[in-house]
Structure 1
Amino acid sequence: MKLFFILAIINGFLSVALGAFGAHGLEGKVSENMLKTWEKAVNYQMFHTMALFVVALLMSQWNQGNFANAGWAFLIGIILFSGSLYVYSVSGIKTFAMITPFGGVAFLVGWVLLGYAVVKFL
């Protein structure tokens, strides 16, 4: 439980820092399209940071492994989805963009696992 709070805090910090970097540090250095891609990565990272907080809160009340499984899926999604988009935005290497859908699948798995755990345990 504490681990997911820490992961959420770290990802929240990174979302804000990377969002500011994109808005101020990348403007004029990458194309408008790549800047939008960067923003999408920041948005999805922040949305799923909130999901990590929800997982941590639920685990603080009901320490079920299914909540943890959802949290791990969200973290993997952040790394694969947002991480690949960050690298793609600044490098333009399309191979990184090909990783992004795997992160999207991890996000979907996380939501399914979270839904399953809520229905089963609450």
Structure 2
Amino acid sequence: MFRTWITLVSLFGAVGVALAAWSSHGLASFIPAEQLAVAAERARAASLHHLLHTLALFGVALWSRQAPSGWLNLAGGLFSLGILCFAGGIYVLRIFAGIHTGPLINVVPFGGFCLIGGWLALGVAGWKSRC
């Protein structure tokens, strides 16, 4: 799974940096001025979680190369899904602020639970590790 995780890390990292830059420099062209401060803060939070959990996934990739385990794969999958749902959901909700987004709003907390689950799975992998 090393190749899968490292490929996802590179994609998530590149997209995370691009979206962080866009949040800092391009957000104002999409968001009304009265909503800009809140949107910018949420976009910063999404970027922070996006890039932080990309680094966590990088750790999973490196560890899985040395000592593969199902718990590491679960952690990697949950981190990946969490990045997509939590950070991705916030990005989309900020881009389309003011437009009815329906059930998409529920994707963000689901992504947060995935990120928490990723950390817990990583903890179990460490506990069961023979390293």
CA distance in 1, matches of 2:113, 2:18: 25
CA distance in 1, matches of 2:108, 2:81: 11
Matched, 1:99 2:107: yes
Look up the match of 2:27: 26
Look up the match of 1:78: 83
Q: Deviations over 1:44-90 (max 9, x none)?
A: 00010001100001001001121011000000000110111001111
Matched, 1:15 2:16: yes
Look up the match of 2:52: 47
Give the CA deviation at 1:28. Answer: 5.3
CA distance in 2, matches of 1:99, 1:60: 31
Look up the match of 1:109: 117
Q: How many residues align?
A: 122
TM-score (norm 2): 0.87
CA distance in 1, matches of 2:74, 2:107: 21
**Residue segments in structure 2 that go unaligned for 5+ positions in a row:** none
CA distance in 2, matches of 1:115, 1:11: 22
Q: Identity over aligned residues, as a percent?
A: 32
CA distance in 2, matches of 1:90, 1:36: 13
Give the CA deviation at 1:14. Answer: 0.7
Give 4+ residue runs of structure 1 displaced > 4 Å after superposition.
none
Alignment root-mean-square deviation, CA: 1.3
CA distance in 2, matches of 1:106, 1:54: 17
TM-score (norm 1): 0.94
CA distance in 2, matches of 1:6, 1:57: 12
CA distance in 2, matches of 1:62, 1:52: 15
CA distance in 1, matches of 2:13, 2:5: 12
Give the CA deviation at 1:29. Answer: 3.7
**Residue segments in structure 1 that go unaligned for 5+ positions in a row:** none
The structure whose Rg is larger is 2
